[in-house]
Amino acid sequence: MATITSSDTETVGRIRSKGFRLPLAVISYLQAIPLTLILGFFLLLPILMIAVVSFWDYDFAQMYPDFLTMNYEETLGSWVTWKTYLNTLKFALLVWAITLVIGFWVAYFLAFHIRTTSMQMVLFLVCTVPFLTSNIIRMISWIPVLGRNGLINSGLVNSGVISEPIEWLLYSDFAVVLAMVHLYTLFMVTPIFNTLMRIDKSLVEAARDAGATSWQILTNVIIPLAKPGMAIGTIFVVTLVMADFSTVQVMSGGQSASVALMMKNQMSLLQYPAAAANAVVLLVLVLTMVAGILRIVDIRKEL
Amino acid sequence: MHREKRSREFYILAIFFAVFVLFLYGPLSAILILSFQGPNGGLTFPLNGVSLRWFANLFETQAVGDFGGSFRRSALLGVMVMLVTVAVSLLAGLAFRRRFIGATALFYLAVASLVVPSIIVSLGIGVLFNQLGLQPAWYSSAFGAHLTWTLPFGVLIMFAVFNRFSPAYEEAARDLGASSWQTFSNVVLPMIAPSLIGVGLFGFTLSYDEFARTLMTAGSFNTLPLEIYGMTTNVTTPVLYALGTVTTVFSFLVIAGTLGLIVHLNRRRLKS
């Protein structure tokens, strides 16, 4: 039956298409060309360029084509670099752990406790909207809250809890982590929400019928099934934090450092080859982390 | 379906969710309020009277830099990025529906575009343009830099959309004698239109707010986020908040408009 219909349509198609037709494989290639060209020219080529330039020589004004390992020796040989990498990893670890906890519970609440789909979508949008506004504005918005005379300090002083304003609220590592959590949590909420929504509710019911408590259902059914979403969220959050320079700069008031901030400072001093060497090291580190996470999860299946 | 009684877990999580929403919107509303600070007020509470002085200050160009120009550039760049993102992601999404040699490599290239630190993309494009003897500008190098950030989102969304798209509709159209172009424009396109609008919204807002990728690629004229970023270090008056309020309100209008359009399209489709 099925074969008859398909051969019928084929004949109809052949009769109708008098003109010349492209084979399907060629159409696929044509459709893929724009993406390939754009990413080739604006992503692959620039990264190759960075790799090349990282071996070049430079002075205060110019770069000179060369093959030196000096930029890498200077980068990897300095304890400042290692400290900066450790500091960046510390931020990544803290922000990852906090966004994972917040992200999971928010997604879990939306997916399992909100009963109508339209309400789920409304609440999800409420979470999403701030993430479509400017990152810098959202960073700055912490200043009147955390500052020396900010809302929290004046509230605590006026209510007599403390006598002196707390100094470490703003321009500190605390402020950096808080702002990063504020900026990046949605990147954890969305993928986890996506996987939780696809869990078959009958699995939960089956577990309950078999006598599992809510806690057992959570730890034995839901969390294992949510792992792919957590992995994708982790990729987002970790790469965003590893690449961050603006949050660290603005929220620490220049007192803390990150790898990307170090690169940015080198760039503003026109030390491009040094920045390029740093970029290569950072890129290798980030891609290794992502490759490690991708071993756990197949993104193509999760979309 | 019977309604169960809400458990204690529900109330605890509901409070947690409410605190989360407050965490998201609280600081933003603080600068919204403070942008109406009186003429003698500072960067923190309390409000020292209410005025529109800082908004007026925004439009006196010499005081805070070129706000109008950078806003126009950012908005135009956002529209350019949006159009290209929608078109290219749609084409790539269609391409990925069939298997072709190199499909996996291209897919992982798109994922790589998402995970490569923005500042590396920025530096790379800056150095590349420099070596090719091209002048970086917001409409060329920054445009490309923004596309490396918006395209992977667009491609992943289209990939997900077509994963769930049943080929039965197209087969039905073809059986009724539609050409492949008719099938695409009358059957496929209306069904995926809301997702395409979503991709467009992503393209516009991600570009409009992007600045790490613009840092080395904008050339001699700043985009709005670069202007704001510059202001964080040297502006100490509420004019910064006024600018924040204006751009945030603009973002909200764009988002609300787009969502309205998506809801409208969905309703019309359900009716027909």
- Say what percent of chain A tops pLDDT 70: 93
Domains located in chain B, CATH noted: 66-234 (1.10.3720.10)
Nearest 5 degrees, angle CA B239-CA B242-CA B244?
115
Interface test with A, best of B4, B120, B140, B228 (most A CBs within 10 A): B120
Is the CB of B106 less than 8 angstroms away from the CB of A36?
yes
Residues B41/A248, Cβ–Cβ less than 8 Å: no
Whether the CB-CB separation of B44 and A150 falls below 8 Å is answered with yes
Q: Residue B234: count other Cβ atoms within 10 Å of its Cβ.
A: 9
Question: Does pLDDT of A123 surpass 60?
Answer: yes
A177 touches chain B (CB under 8 A): no
Q: With contacts defined as CB-CB under 8 Å, which chain A residues touch B78?
A: none
pLDDT tens digit string along A243-253?
999 899 888 88
A contacts of B96 (beta carbons < 8 Å)? 32
Number of Cβ pairs < 8 A linking chain A and chain B: 256
> Cα(B94)–Cα(B58) distance, rounded to whole angstroms?
45
**pLDDT of B65 strictly over 90:** no
- What pLDDT is stored for residue A3 in this prediction? 41
Residue B128 with chain A: CB contacts under 8 Å:
45-46, 49
Average pLDDT along chain B? 86
Quote the percentage of chain B above a pLDDT of 70. 96
Which residues make Cβ contacts (< 8 Å) with residue B175, sequence separation at least 6?
A5, A9
Of A133, A250, A275, the CB nearest to B123: A275
**SS3 state of residue A64:** strand
Q: Is the CB of A214 less than 8 angstroms away from the CB of B7?
A: yes
Q: For chain B, say whether A106 makes contact (Cβ under 8 Å).
A: yes
Contact across the interface for A43 and B121, Cβ inside 8 Å: yes
Average pLDDT score over residue span A56-66: 80
Residue A288 has pLDDT above 90, yes or no: yes
Q: According to the model, what pLDDT value does residue A74 have?
A: 84
The reply to whether B226 touches chain A by the CB within 8 Å rule is no
Nearest to B216 among A236, A245, A267 (CB): A267
The correct answer on CATH 1.20.120.140 for the domain covering A78-302 is: no
* Cα atoms found within 13 Å of the Cα of residue B262, Cβ hemisphere only: 15
In one-letter notation, the amino acid at residue A209 is D
Q: Do B209 and A135 touch (CB under 8 A)?
A: yes
> Does A2 score more than 70 pLDDT?
no
- Report the candidate in B47, B114, B109, B90 with the shortest Cα–Cα distance to residue B196: B90
> How does pLDDT run across B150-194, given as a tens digit for each residue?
999 999 999 989 988 888 888 898 889 888 888 888 888 988 888
Selected for mutation to probe chain A from B3, B10, B22, B28 (highest A CB count within 10 Å) is B28
* Residues of B with Cβ-Cβ distance to A34 under 8 angstroms: 87-88, 91-92
Is A208 within 8 Å of chain B by CB?
A: no
Q: Where are the domains of chain A?
A: 78-302
pLDDT of A178 > 50? The answer is: yes
Check CB contact under 8 Å for A38 and B155: no
Above pLDDT 90, what percent of chain A?
Answer: 42
ipTM: 0.87
Write the CA distances from B146 to A235, B24, B85, B185, B211, integer angstroms. Answer: 20, 25, 10, 29, 9
> Residue B176: is it exposed, middle or buried by C-beta count within 10 angstroms (0-12/13-18/19+)?
exposed
Nearest to B211 among A44, A136, A287 (CB): A136
- Yes or no, beta carbons of B175 and A141 under 8 Å apart: no
Contact residues, B window 243-262, toward A, CB-based 8 Å cutoff:
244, 247-248, 251-252, 255, 259
Across the interface, do A43 and B116 touch by the CB < 8 Å criterion?
yes
